[in-house]
Amino acid sequence: MSHHDHPSHVHHHFENEVQQFDSDKMGMWLFLVTEIMIFAGLFCVYVLYRTHNPEIFHYGHQFLDKNLGALNTLILLSSSLTMAWGVRAAQLSQKKTLLTMLALTMLCAFGFLYIKYIEYGSKIHHGTLYGNRYVWQSEDHGTEHGSPEGELHSLADAAQDANAVRDAALAAGTDTSASSMSVPTSQFAPAPEGPQSFEVKTPEQLKAEKEEQKHNFPQPAKAHLFFSIYFIMTGLHGIHVVIGIICIFTIFVLSARGAYNSTYYTPVDMVGLYWHLVDLIWIYLFPLLYLVD
């Protein structure tokens, strides 16, 4: 076949469309293998640290919202469906369906990033960050959890409260030493007979208590390691999501110009493969980070 017989989308160094498609797909698979190797190294780091420091993972994962993680998993699975549907639409020369599926895939990707933005904002608020930036912020005092400054702050508050009680007792003309040693007779009163009323807590109150208990657990000495691994793995994955959005938007624009049809849809297929890998990596990240127990 001469150069003039080549279709416009077939490069001059390929004999035909089939050879170009096979070469492109082989190159894409080699690229995806390198991506898998990068994350495989991070998974090995995860396994190594979790084997030697399991307590930091059981402690740190409590600060992750598994509901948001599950929602992100559902979003990415949906985006894989729409992306695969878009590839099929390109193969069938269904331009309108292709544009719709690409738009839905981008919408899912932006939804994923928005949820990660909410999660990262919560980590920044609580100070559960990576490396030496890990400074867990107490809701009550805004000081580092377990730090000497936080303990001094608590002691100072307790001293102020004790002084306030003493001053109030002196102002009322009572003897604080006697009152402190006396035992209320009500402690020895018999329990009232008949039905007793119990406080019924709302789901919001139960959730608040659970959140407070979660943050009051004693933290391990190397708690920052979990959040370092969390930010490295999810951050790198987030970068791949952004790259995927750029690629999908590019083929969306070209699809609107009629660049792809049943005779040429290679770029759509290649971007689809990349996006499926991004989804697959998150399917591993979700249980490893959010479902430690």
Residue 275 lies in a domain: yes
Residue 259 lies in a domain: yes
pLDDT of residue 170: 60
Express each pLDDT in 222-270 by its tens digit: 777 888 889 999 999 999 999 999 999 999 999 999 888 888 888 899 9
pLDDT of residue 145: 43
Q: Which CATH number goes with the domain that contains 112? A: 1.20.120.80
Give SS3 for 277: helix
What are the tokens at 201? 């807590």
C-alpha separations of 185 from 19, 176, 178, 188 in Å: 94, 18, 15, 6
Confidence of residue 15 (pLDDT cuts 50, 70, 90): low
Q: How many domains does the chain have?
A: 1
Residue 60 lies in a domain: yes
Residue 213 lies in a domain: no
- Mean pLDDT of the 74-93 span: 94
264 lies in which domain range? 15-144+218-290
Residue 180 lies in a domain: no
pTM reported for the whole predicted model: 0.68
Q: Answer whether 175's CB lies under 8 Å from 168's CB.
A: no
Query: Which of 144, 115, 106, 121 shows the shortest CA–CA distance to 223?
Result: 144
Residue 78 lies in a domain: yes
Confidence of residue 144 (pLDDT cuts 50, 70, 90): very low
pLDDT of residue 23: 74
Residue 163 lies in a domain: no
Give SS3 for 255: helix
Q: CA-CA distance, 240 to 276, in Å (whole number)?
A: 11
DSSP string, 75-105: HHHHHHHHHHHHHHHHHTT-HHHHHHHHHHH
Q: CA-CA distance, 75 to 107, in Å (whole number)?
A: 9
Residue 105 lies in a domain: yes
Express each pLDDT in 149-199 by its tens digit: 344 344 445 445 555 556 655 665 554 444 444 444 444 445 555 555 556
Backbone φ and ψ for 65, nearest 5 degrees, come out as -90, 105
